[in-house]
Amino acid sequence: MSDPITLNVGGKLYTSSLATLTRYPDSMLGIMFSGKMPSTSDQHGNFFIDRDGKIFRYILNFLRTSNLDLPDDFQEVGLLKREADFYQIQPLIHALQERESENAKAERNAMLNITLDQRLQTVYFTVKPAPQMYNLTSCSTEVFDANIFCTSAEFLKHLSSKFCYFVNGKLLPIGYEKKDPYHLTLQWVGHVAVLPEDEYTRQNLKRLWIAPTNEQVNNFQLFVEEVLKTAMSDGFHVDSLQPDSSDFMNYKVLRLVRYK
């Protein structure tokens, strides 16, 4: 067994050395490849393990280096913990526990930064004052942009649940994306009395509502009040050093911090 060993883990093939697979003798792999427990082979003679094949790459990398190297956007820690427990690789189990502890500390101490921008946009649409007659007209609407960054992904997910878009006559989630868990961008328009309802849909003009009260957000004051209420109830407070007080009062920049 000094030759490279090929494993079929859940349908994915991996090749490694005996020394790597038995790095931790008390692990399941260490016992398996020491001949102390029976093994199963696939139709090609490869050692077969009926576990998650995608996650095994992280198991094997840990066996090779004794370091826990995960992508910054890794989202399957729970699954990796279960696999580490199955293979009984105690150093990996301890490394995952330390990572969880560090992440929990980072979640408790957090910074929330919101940049706000507001502008006027001219909207053109047609009205039908009489059969076979169409008039082109226009109106102005306020467009609001909020770019939100928070070092606590859990809080940002919680904050996103406080708002929803009104699109096509329905209230919809604002689309918080797991692929970028620390950033959230919102854009919406205020209510315009003269704009027909179907024009909002046709021109993709989204309006913002506060959930679950279903109160429409037509200005930054209402938006900021809801953000501050949500943040302060979660332990945040206004940063006394940044931003400039004039930016805060004019709803340009909001910065809050949390220490726990």
pLDDT score for 37: 83
pLDDT score for 226: 93
Q: 10-residue block means of pLDDT along the chain (260 residues)?
A: 84 94 94 87 93 95 94 87 95 92 76 94 81 80 94 90 89 75 92 86 90 88 93 88 57 85
pLDDT score for 72: 78
Q: For 190-211, write each residue's pLDDT tens digit.
A: 988 888 888 888 888 999 999 8
Could you give the domains of the chain? Answer: 5-108 (3.30.710.10), 110-258 (no CATH)
Residue whose C-alpha is closest to residue 10's, from 45, 43, 55, 44: 55
pLDDT score for 1: 47
pLDDT score for 185: 92
For the whole model, what pTM was predicted?
A: 0.59
Rounded distance, CA 194 to CA 105, Å? Answer: 51
**Contact present, 89 and 62 (Cβ < 8 Å):** yes
- CA neighbours within 13 Å on the CB side: how many for 183? 6
pLDDT score for 257: 92
Helix (H) or strand (E) holding 170: strand 170-173
